[in-house]
Homo-oligomer: A and B are copies of this chain.
Amino acid sequence: MNINIVPLQFDLNSTEPLYAQLFHYLKDLIIKGDLAFGDKLPAIRSFAKALEVNNITVINAYKQLEHTGYVTSKQGSGYYVSKRLTEEASVFTPKPLYQQELINFSSASPDPGIFPTETFKEYIVEVMDRDKGYAFGYQEVNGFMKLREVLAQFLKQTYDIETKAELIQMVSGAQQGLDIIAKSLLYSGDSVITENPTYNGAVDVFKSRGCRIVPVSLTPQGLDLIEFEKKVKICKPKLVYIMPNFQNPTTICYNKATLLALLKLAHTYDFYLLEEDSMWELTYGTRGSLSLKSLDAEDRVIYLKSFSKLLMPGLRIGFIIMPEALVEAFTRTKQTTDISSSGLMQRALELYFKNNKWEEHIHYMKRIYKDRYECMLSKLLELENDEVELYKPQGGVCFWLRLPKGMSAQHLYEKCHKKGLLIFPSPIFFPHLDPSKDRYIRLSFAACGITDIQKGTDILTECIRTYH
């Protein structure tokens, strides 16, 4: 394989080292398709000679390509372009360090192998060079203004959400967002309505404020509106917490009628709706996602978005769209909580959005996840013969399964664990202890490549079939 190196002009005065320049040049060739799956990269020595650089420069560039998944090395043979988007699992999916031997269907966070680390590294360095000490000073309490401006624009274009920079509060991840919302709004004795089942980390936050948790059942269209209104009348909630797209853990999506009904009830009974969104973008079918906030004419929706699931959890960045009436309370709480979120990360994220990297990355994630989704779905469908019930979400990174009657999710978890598979049993997702709810499991493909999905679902099937 000969690479046309004529257009490659090293810039000796660049702040970018030579190996990085070479890495970017080759990466672009792979993305454009000039280097195709299976192509062998030139041998190190002759390539270095042709480029008039040291061998180490070429080695470093190749290693960088390998780490970011563009090529794979075969011992004694050289480097080959990866079939990145479909066979990425075997190439560049390192498992979480703390459990190298387990297949992890439990974590809904992407594995570090598919993080856009190279791009962020560039922007982080760019920010440090540009802003010097200011990148490490206190940030405005509400967040870096330029980022908030970019996000407001982006929300309009992408989500059809009308807002403005002044209403955006940056937070250090969605978990902190929940904490700040709770501390701003909720006091001892207040009631909060949640979905049943729901995200346990949110329940913990509400409980920590001394609140009463009132769970309401889910239908395939969203909250059960009849049960909901009955409970609203009794408990007079201050806040209703929902995840309208790919709900965690059930993966259901609300329909528009349910969302509109909730907004109407919020007006009638005077409560705030908290919409948490971490998966809006991840649709694989024809269904478009719908945000509650985009329908919110009366400013009753607090919108909370995390970048942890779609980008990287380590950024510790998310944001809230605040109803105008709550801006002052939220700002004061953020100040008391941790003064401000990381200025460096906010500034890097601003560059990321400004340079349209977000959409590129989402496109990339969707291609990866869609393959995994289809692989896991086809394997799980085989379990329907075993009386396992399955909802087909057409998006997100999880499946929610109801086990056959008489089977305990907790016990199945232990069986799977012994065989090297981590699954998420259901009890923790139900705010009120209820033995009849120990019958569901959540399976995620976020941290697993195709091979592991196949192996893991085989283990699961075996454990279910040999359960008794």
Q: Which residues of A pack against B, CB within 8 Å?
A: 12-20, 53-54, 56-57, 60, 67, 94, 96-97, 109, 111-115, 117, 120-121, 124-125, 128-129, 132-139, 172-173, 175-176, 179, 183, 187-188, 201, 204-205, 208, 210, 308, 312-316, 332-333, 335-345
Contacts and interface: CB of A to CB of B under 8 A. Distances in A.
Contact of A136 (B12, B136, B179, B313): B313
5 contacts: A12-B12, A13-B19, A113-B133, A179-B336, A208-B333
B136 A53 contact: no
Contact of A128 (B121, B133, B137): B121
Contact of A312 (B14, B137, B210, B315): B137
Nearest to A313: B138
Given A12-B53, A112-B137, A173-B338, 13 more contacts: A112-B134, A113-B133, A115-B136, A124-B124, A136-B313, A137-B313, A138-B313, A172-B338, A175-B335, A175-B337, A187-B210, A338-B338, A342-B345
A109 B124 contact: no
A350 to B, nearest CB: 15
B54 A179 contact: no
A77 to B, nearest CB: 24
Nearest to A139: B314
A112 B124 contact: no
Nearest to A315: B136
A112 B139 contact: no
Contacts of A56: 13
A424 to B, nearest CB: 16
Nearest to A97: B134
Number of copies: 2
Contact of A13 (B12, B53, B111, B117): B53
A54 B173 CA distance: 44
A342 B342 contact: yes
A191 B3 CA distance: 73
A308 B139 CA distance: 12
Contacts of A132: 67, 112, 115, 117
B204 A336 contact: yes
A243 B163 CA distance: 43
Contacts of A128: 117, 120-121, 124
Contact of A14 (B17, B129, B134): B17
B12 A205 contact: no
Nearest to A124: B124
Contact of A314 (B125, B336, B342): B342
A434 B255 CA distance: 56
Contacts of A179: 336-338
Contacts of A109: 137-138
A117 to B, nearest CB: 5
A139 B313 CA distance: 9
B338 A175 contact: yes
A337 B313 CA distance: 14
A275 to B, nearest CB: 20
B136 A312 contact: yes
Contacts of A339: 173, 175, 201, 313
A19 B337 CA distance: 41
A173 B175 CA distance: 17
Contacts of A205: 336
A383 to B, nearest CB: 30
A206 to B, nearest CB: 10
A111 B204 CA distance: 38
8 nearest A-B pairs in the assembled complex, by CB-CB distance: A112-B133, A136-B314, A136-B312, A176-B338, A115-B133, A13-B54, A204-B336, A13-B56
B136 A111 contact: no
A219 to B, nearest CB: 29
